Amino acid sequence: MWPPFSLNRPLVWAGLAALAAIGWLPSLWLRFVALCFVGIGLADAWQQIRHESRRRLLSEEALKLSDDGVVISDAQNRIVAVNPAFTQITGYTIDEVKGQDPSILSAGRHDKAFYDRYWQTLQATGRWEGEIWNQRKHGDQFPEWLRVQACPDDKGRLSHYVALFTDISRHKAREQDLRRIGFEDPLTGLPNRRRLHDLMTSRLRHLRAGEGLDMALIDIDGFKAINDAMGVDCGDRLLARFGQRLAGHVAGGVVGRLGGDEFMVIRTTTFNDHEKWVSGLRDHLSEPFEIDGHSLRLGLTIGSCRAPEDGNDSGVLFQRMESALYSAKRHGRNHDQRFRPSLDVAGDRQLGLVNDLRAALAKGTQLELHYQTQHALNDGALVGMEALLRWRHPEHGMISPADFIPLAERHGLMSSLGSWVVDRAVAQLATWRAAGMPRVPVWVNISALQLIQGDLESRLAACLAQHRVPPNMLGLELTESVLLDERAGDIYPRLEALRKLGHEIAIDDFGTGYSSLSYLKRLPVDKLKLDRAFIRALPEDSADAAIVSAVLAMARGLSLVVIAEGVETPAQRDFLKRNGCPLVQGFLFSRPEPASELEARLMEPQPV
């Protein structure tokens, strides 16, 4: 970069001295030499002026290209120049703001104390940086990240202020989206489980003498039957209206949705009328709901407790409410149960399992992956493996996934479990590749929560890069319930992005959801896993045989691969082979087994 224009240059000073001496020199020859020095000084000054002009032009072009707004104001803080990005962001042209104080952009969100601190910092340090709210020409307000520099002249006196600002509206919107995903149930707009924990903790902390906290978990009886009969859309509208009615009834309290058809209510009160309060909740919520011309009267199961009598820790109170809810469910539908000490025993197996599962995740020693192989039906060749999570409890032995997966979903542990499965499966793949095992993909199940978090793609990429495993070696299975879970947002671009990374996508438990055929027309998937429920009675059950034949024909038309799960008998295998099913998985071929056993079996020399 060229230096700024200055007379502090030897050739310029020599030229000036020669110009002053020309009239005093005695001979023409000396005057001619002096005139040459004047010419050289002028040439040097002209070159410096050209360089300075070029530098200013380049600076101006750079400012024009910048996406950040630039404002230059004088010592009295009157605007003298702006760049095109300023106009694009604020809507004001240079003619509209020239000579104006930058405060014309103020949104009015900051008080006098804020601006006093702003000027004190700027005058003391010559610089200020931070977030500030301004207003565009047409009135809408926006957040910006502002950097201001005070610029002195050659004598050290304040000459100008240069301000550079970035419109951070999109960043703020993204923060709000993440906050909403993290703390708000997307269907009802109510606080989610995580937020409810925070709100309960806050209310417990601020309880005054004579106050109590009433809490209740409310579960809608038979909600799945409503979904089955009326469809998911009607079910979602019913949940939204249920949440609205509940929130309207407990004005001043807290209402949230924990997931599915389970809601929670918190009330701070000076009245000791817990049972009457729960009865009032039931009466109010039992009034009919009108949905699409149908009048629905809901049955409710309620588990409740009260602080500080039943505890003063949010985690303990959550567990005790759930213990009361499970106890009420054991008595059948439409019951309510307040927590009592007899329920709080290591004896409530479900709550004990939740705590043990958290400990197992923290230690990582009790969880295992077992692998079940997948085979081509025409020749029995190995084509893949499914990674299946197992929990070897130190006291209870092997615990079925049917027991602990629902608990993990209910208590927010599925995301951690899913990440553990992916990390362990990819690490095992790397080990097998190094050992010369058959190079076939391993399939892992992806939960709705892993999609909701929004960083599944980056997590997968980081894990694969760490272990140097190509993406096409890790297949992803999603159940239809995940595809229908609107908390995950628009799933189509997410799946397309995963496929572009190199992952194959399979729909697990196909045929057990609500909208299979309509989804298949649009979803970017590669494989359907036909649920074992349709395989179990083959070939004797004519209805199941017809369903399986229809799915296989449809899949061929859509260029989708089908793998049948739960194949246990030669008769099932033969039926599937006759009807063109290409892939199978089940006990007839192999049971799920630990990695070491599978490795030993597959590495054995095969008989000639």
Residue 349 placed within a domain? no
pLDDT band for position 593 (cuts 50, 70, 90): very high
Residues 25 and 141 in one domain: no
* Domain CATH number, residue 468: 3.20.20.450
Percent of the chain at pLDDT exceeding 90: 33
Residue 372 lies in a domain: yes
pLDDT at 54 over 70: no
On whether residue 5 sits in a domain, the answer given is: no
pLDDT at residue 177 greater than cutoff 70: no
What confidence category does residue 490 fall into, taking pLDDT thresholds of 50, 70 and 90? low
Q: Look up residue 188 and give its amino acid.
A: T
Residue 345 pLDDT more than 60? Answer: no
Return d(Cα 132, Cα 291) in angstroms, integer: 46
In a domain? residue 477: yes
User: When comparing pLDDT for 83 and 41, which is higher?
Assistant: 83
308 and 193 in a single domain? The answer is: yes
Token representation of residue 344 = 């709080």
pLDDT in tens, 98-108: 999 999 999 88
Residue 82 in this model has a pLDDT that exceeds 60: yes
| 79 lies in the same domain as 58 | no
Are 559 and 420 part of one and the same domain?
yes
Confidence of residue 281 (pLDDT cuts 50, 70, 90): very high
Number of domains in the chain: 4
The residue among 167, 192, 210 that closes a domain is 167
Q: Tell me, what's the pLDDT at 601?
A: 87
> What's 334's domain CATH number?
3.30.70.270
Q: Measuring CA to CA, which residue among 224, 195, 184 is closest to residue 481? A: 224
Q: Are residues 333 and 445 in the same domain?
A: no
In a domain, 353, yes or no: no
The CATH number of residue 94's host domain is: 3.30.450.20
Comparing 597 with 520, the larger pLDDT belongs to 597
Coil, strand or helix: which one is 181?
helix
Domain assignment of residue 435, yes or no? yes
Q: How far is CA 457 from CA 202, 340, 412, 496, in A?
A: 35, 45, 20, 11
- Label residue 533 exposed, middle or buried (CB < 10 Å: 0-12, 13-18, 19+): middle
Q: Is the pLDDT of residue 523 over 60?
A: yes
Q: Are residues 518 and 564 in the same domain?
A: yes
214 and 87 belong to one structural domain: no
Give pLDDT, residue 41: 66
Which of 25, 40, 64 finishes a domain?
64
**Is 533 a member of any domain?**
yes
Same domain, 520 and 578: yes
For residues 18 and 105, state if they share a domain. no
Quickly state the pLDDT bin for 292 (edges 50, 70, 90).
confident
pLDDT exceeds cutoff 80 at 239: yes
16-43 average pLDDT score: 67
The 3-state secondary structure of 347-368 reads CCHHHHHHHHHHHHHHHCCCEE
Are 23 and 127 within one domain? no
Q: Which two tokens stand for residue 51?
A: 């360089």
Residue 321 falls inside a structural domain = yes
- Sorted by sequence, the CB contacts under 8 Å of residue 265 that are 6+ apart come out as 214, 215, 216, 218, 246, 250, 253, 254, 255, 281
409-to-227, 260, 363, 402 alpha-carbon distances in Å: 20, 10, 20, 11
Please work out, in degrees rounded to the nearest 5, the angle formed at the alpha carbon of residue 280 by the alpha carbons of 275 and 282.
95
User: Which pLDDT score, from 0 to 100, does residue 5 have?
Assistant: 44
- Quick check: 8 pLDDT over 80? no
Weakest mean pLDDT among 33-47, 180-194, 276-290: 33-47
- In terms of pLDDT, which residue wins out, 58 or 331? 331
* pLDDT confidence band for 12 (50 / 70 / 90): low
Let me know whether 401 and 480 are in one domain: yes
Query: Where does the pLDDT of residue 518 fall: very low under 50, low under 70, confident under 90, or very high at 90 and above?
Result: low
pLDDT of 514: 44
Are 428 and 577 in a shared domain?
Answer: yes
Instruction: Map tokens 């909740």 to a residue.
Output: 281
Q: Which domain holds residue 257?
A: 181-344
**pLDDT band for position 550 (50/70/90)?**
confident
End-of-domain residue from the set 64, 84, 110 = 64
The pLDDT of residue 423:
92
